[in-house]
Amino acid sequence: MNQSTKWIIGVVIVAVIAVVYFVSKGPSELVSTEPIKIGVILPLTGDAAFIGEAAKNSAILAKESFGKTKNTYELVFEDDQADSKKTISAFRKLVDVNKIRAVGTGFPGPGNAIAPLSEKEKIIHFSIASDLSIAKDKPFVFNHWIKPENEAGVYIKEAKKQGLKKIAMITSNQQGIIAIRDALLKEDQTIFILKDELLGPQEKDFRTTIIKAKNEGADAFLLMLLQGQLTSAVKQIKEMKVNISLTSIESFDYDPEAIPMLEGEWFVTSADPSEDFTTSYKEKYNGLPQPGSAYVYDVIRILITAFEKEETNEGAAKFISEMKDFPGVTGALSVDSDGNINSKAVVKKIINGKFVEVK
Amino acid sequence: MDILPQLVLNSIIAGAIYALVALGFNLIYGTTKFFNLSHGVIAVVGAYAFLFFGKMLDWNLFLSVFIGIAIAAIVGYGLDKLIYLPLRKRKASNMALLIASLGAFTALQAIIAILFTSQFQTLWRNYSNQKIYEIYGGIITQTQLIILISGILITGALVFVLKYTLFGKMTRAVSDDEEAAKIIGINTNKIISRIFIIGSAIAGLAGILVGFDTGIEPTMGMGLLLKGVIVSIIGGVGNIYGGFLGAFLLGFAENFGIWKISGEWKDAIAFGLLIIFLLFRPQGIMRK
């Protein structure tokens, strides 16, 4: 071996060592500097904008609640007006342009619309919706809400405590609402009347339904209606002098215009989040969180925790699916076999325009 | 409470709302011979103009109603001048005018949503302020009574104007044969513009009154328009009397139809009635 061959071999060995060093070093450097992007699709305009804006605030608050993290995180917000078609467009943009690794959605329609897509793309999808079938048999999809069975149980217990025997159902034909109605009828059919009284989501004239309920001797209404519908229905009930109890599951949360007409009435909804969360929210945004805000906070914290522990989406999805007693602001959170995190349902009463939990 | 009186009243209230929407729609169709789909959004313009002046700025109720109607009339006139008149001058087909009116509907609806948000809003300040009347055990509110009286009065006024005034005679001439009307010296474009102003003003009033009854949202125009179109077709498209009768027929069919079945069938009943008329009496209750 002559001198120049030795030199060539020496240079090649140094080059190989350098390449091996930088190749092994390179990707981890890239991972730590490139933020992990989490898409958040919310109704930031439209009917449910007040919920979407508060949810956005909560997501930001959740991200900021972590101190120094191994990875950096970026939340990318998109507006879907709770319209499934727009959710799909927003999802495609988030996947193709922003290269997100996880996505959050609100409401059953948007959740159902992109669950199969996120499952196919292996992007972790957290839905916040009352339809618990969204996550079923989809390892990358999860859902955080109150189980309709929990709400139904709490509602029927309270109704019986109040001595109600003929509760007239006025129900909007919407996926999440139907899930609650079915759970109620499964729990106890005997105390409900007008069980098949479904109304289109755009319907605002409830007069004939109201008079049918009155004619059948209803002692209460169970109003499970969308925003705007509830205001119209309550106004028409009052105008028609049908003076019976007005109750609901969740709907009172979403229709601020109806609240002045609902003083003293009760409904079933999610339990209040922790005092710490409400205080931090108030301090940062000078307002109160809205329904679902605390769920969003918990979901973002769960996702960041999962990505801190696991490098791949498969690993993070597995971590979430096996999660037990995660310390959330909505309680100790565990994921069930269908990918759902179930929260507690409580009875709240409207007192001086505020929702007060009935202990 | 006996259900029948209230069912009858509910039907009359629904019929009166449909009549108000159909009146303007029929008036414009009768003269221009095209389905002006933007009519639905003109009602929304009236309602939101009232919301702005009457509720947000807290101006006088009657002044705000007047402004709401006036703005609806101006927007309707503007659409005719800026979109439909140039198309008519180019001898555009009725299909082109229909598509243009759908475009105007969509654009105006989007503008209203941007300006006022898509959120449901109420026009009333305090729901308990309004008077309630009891008729044979049925209940009707002050707003609903105003809707009913407005429908009757406006129909009566339109019939009078069309039958006994020079403007009415010229309108009927344009309606019967626009080319012949031009030959005898009628400024047909001017007549059509005026018809747009009157029809749109009625739509604006309808929007405000519906808003007082059930609340408003930018998308409410499509529901109103569809019912207005159904009523016009079953009443006899372009026929004001027919539209009035058709409105009450639809109101009764819908409300009595859902007496024993779910309220979700209401729209199916409305469109079922439309199909029956298209199949067996396409000219409607009253021929034009």
State whether A250 and A153 are in the same domain.
Answer: yes
Please check whether residues A66 and A107 belong to one and the same domain.
Answer: yes
Residue with the bigger pLDDT between B225 and A21: it is: B225
Nearest CB partner across the interface for A204, out of B7, B132, B214 = B214
Q: Kindly determine whether residue A49 and residue B118, on different chains, have CB atoms separated by under 8 Å.
A: yes
- Per the domain annotation, does A70 fall within a domain? yes
CA distance B205 to B231: 18
Q: Which amino acid type is present at position A162?
A: Q
Give dist(CA B48, CA B41) in Å, integer.
Answer: 10
A8 pLDDT band, cuts 50/70/90, is: confident
Tokens of A204: 């605002």
- CA-based nearest distance A63→chain B, Å: 29
What tens digit of pLDDT does each residue of B3-12 get? 899 999 999 9
Please report the pLDDT score of residue A199 as a whole number: 92
Q: Is the pLDDT of residue A311 over 70?
A: yes
pLDDT of residue A68: 87
Say yes or no: A325 and A255 in one domain: no
| A128, part of any domain | yes
**With bands split at pLDDT 50, 70 and 90, how would you rate the model's confidence at A131?**
confident
Cβ(B76)–Cβ(B196) below 8 Å: yes
Please indicate, yes or no, whether residues A177 and A161 belong to a single structural domain of this protein: yes
Question: Could you tell me if A198 and A318 lie in one domain?
Answer: no
Q: Are residues A351 and A231 in the same domain?
A: yes
Residue with the bigger pLDDT between A247 and A256: it is A247
Give the amino acid at A308: E
List, for residues A197-237, the tens digit of each pLDDT value.
899 888 999 999 999 999 999 999 999 998 889 999 999 99
Report pTM. Answer: 0.81
> Does B285 map to a domain?
no
CATH code, domain with B177: 1.10.3470
Structural domain contains residue B41: yes
Residue B286 lies in a domain: no
Interface touch A198/B3, C-beta < 8 Å: no
pLDDT-derived band at A31, boundaries 50, 70, 90 = very low
Window from A176-190, B125-139, B172-186 with minimum mean pLDDT? B125-139
Q: How far is A52 from chain B (nearest CA, A)?
A: 12
User: Residue A29: its pLDDT value, please?
Assistant: 40
A72 and A218: one domain? no
Q: Which residues contact B282 (CB under 8 A, 6 or more apart)?
A: none
Question: For the residues B124-139, what does the mean pLDDT come to?
Answer: 83
CA gap A47, A184 in Å, rounded: 27
Residue B177 C-alpha, separation from nearest chain A C-alpha, in angstroms: 40
Contact call for B263 and A197, based on CB within 8 A: yes
- Confidence at residue A196, expressed as pLDDT on a 0 to 100 scale: 86
Average pLDDT of every residue of chain A: 90
Q: How many other C-beta atoms are found inside a 10 Å radius of the C-beta of residue B222?
A: 17
Residue A19: pLDDT band (50, 70, 90) is low
pLDDT band for position A359 (cuts 50, 70, 90): confident
Mean pLDDT of B60-68: 96
Question: Residue A24 pLDDT more than 60?
Answer: no
Predicted confidence band of residue A30 (pLDDT cuts 50, 70, 90): very low
Tell me if A47 and B258 make a contact (CB, 8 A cut-off): no
Percent of chain A having pLDDT more than 70? 94
Same-domain pairing of A226 and A288 = no
pLDDT above 90 as % of chain A = 70
Instruction: Please tell me which of the candidates B113, B259, B264 has its beta carbon nearest to residue A200.
Output: B264
Interface contact flag, B120 A227, Cβ < 8 Å: yes
| Inside any domain, residue B77 | yes
Residue B108 located in a structural domain: yes
Q: Which of B272, B201, B180, B259 lies closest to B233, judged by CA?
A: B272
On whether residue B114 sits in a domain, the answer given is yes
User: Which of A131-135, A169-173, B60-64, B164-168 is the least confident region?
Assistant: A131-135
In a domain, B164, yes or no: yes
Per the CB < 8 A criterion, the answer to whether A187 and A149 are in contact is yes
Buried b (16+ CB within 10 A) or exposed e, A279-302: ebbeeebeeebbbbbbbbbbbbbb
pLDDT of res. A27: 45
The string of pLDDT tens digits covering residues B135-185 is 988 999 999 999 999 999 999 999 999 999 999 999 999 999 989 999 999
Mean predicted lDDT score pLDDT of chain B: 92
- pLDDT over 80 at A26, yes or no: no
Domain assignment of residue A108, yes or no: yes
ipTM of the complex as predicted: 0.86
Which residues partner with B133 through β-bridges? B140
- Number of domains within chain A: 2
Residue A7 lies inside a defined structural domain of this protein: no
Q: Which of A62-76, A278-292, B245-259 has the lowest average pLDDT?
A: A278-292
| pLDDT at position B72 | 98
Query: For chain B, first and last CA: distance in Å?
Result: 42
| Residue numbers in B near A47 (CB within 8 A) | 118-120, 217
Chain A: which residues have CB within 8 Å of chain B?
Answer: 45-47, 49-50, 81, 173, 196-200, 202-209, 211-212, 214-215, 227-228, 231-232, 235-236, 238-241, 255, 257, 261
Q: Are residues A254 and A111 in the same domain?
A: no
Among partner residues B139, B215, B255, which is closest to A228 by beta-carbon distance?
B215
What pLDDT score was predicted for residue A83?
Answer: 86
Q: Which residues of A touch B3 (CB under 8 A)?
A: 211-212, 214-215
For chain B, what is the domain count? 1
B201, pLDDT greater than 60? yes
B264–A212: do the CB atoms touch at under 8 Å?
no
* Percentage of chain B modeled with pLDDT above 90: 81
Span B258-280, mean pLDDT? 93
What's the pLDDT score for residue A347?
96
Of the candidates A81, A208, A235, which has its C-beta nearest B118's C-beta?
A: A81
Range of the domain at B45: 3-123+134-280
Q: How far is B161 from chain A (nearest CA, A)?
A: 33
Closest residue in B to A261 (Cα–Cα): B127
pLDDT confidence bin for A314, thresholds 50/70/90: very high
Q: What is the structure's pLDDT at A286?
A: 86
Q: How far is CA B216 from CA A17, A31, A258, B119, B211, in A?
A: 72, 50, 14, 9, 5
The CATH number assigned to the domain holding A336 equals: 3.40.50.2300
Instruction: Tell me: do A176 and A288 sit in the same domain.
Output: no
Query: For residue A334, how many other CB atoms are within 10 A of its CB?
Result: 14
Mean pLDDT score, A304-329: 95
Q: How far is B176 from chain A (nearest CA, A)?
A: 38
Tell me the average pLDDT across A117-136.
92
Give how far A211 is from chain B: nearest CA, Å: 6
Whether A2 is in a domain gets the answer no
Q: Kindly tell me the burial class for residue B164, based on how many C-beta atoms sit within 10 Å of its own C-beta (0-12, 13-18, 19 or more).
A: exposed
* Confidence check: pLDDT of A340 > 60: yes
Q: Is the same domain home to A246 and A165?
A: yes
B58: left (phi over 0), alpha (psi -120 to 50) or beta: left
Domain that holds residue A101: 32-146+273-343
> How confident is the model at residue B133, as a pLDDT?
92
Lowest pLDDT segment from A10-24, A132-146, A309-323, B224-238: A10-24
Residue A201 inside a domain? The answer is: yes
Q: Do B10 and A204 touch (CB under 8 A)?
A: no
Give the C-alpha separation, B7 to B2, whole Å.
9
Mean pLDDT of A331-343: 91
Whether A12 maps to a domain, the answer reads: no
* Number of other residues whose CB lies within 10 A of the CB of residue A56: 20
Q: Which long-range contacts (CB under 8 A, 24 or more apart) does B156-165 make?
A: B158/B23, B158/B27, B158/B198, B158/B240, B159/B240, B159/B241, B162/B240
Distance CA A130, CA A112 (A): 11
Predicted pLDDT of residue B238:
83
Residue A24 lies in a domain: no
Q: Say which residue, B127 or B271, is predicted with more confidence.
A: B271
Cα–Cα dist B42/B89, whole Å = 23
Residues A353 and A247 in one domain: yes
d(CA A84, CA A111): 8
| Residue-level pLDDT at B2 | 75
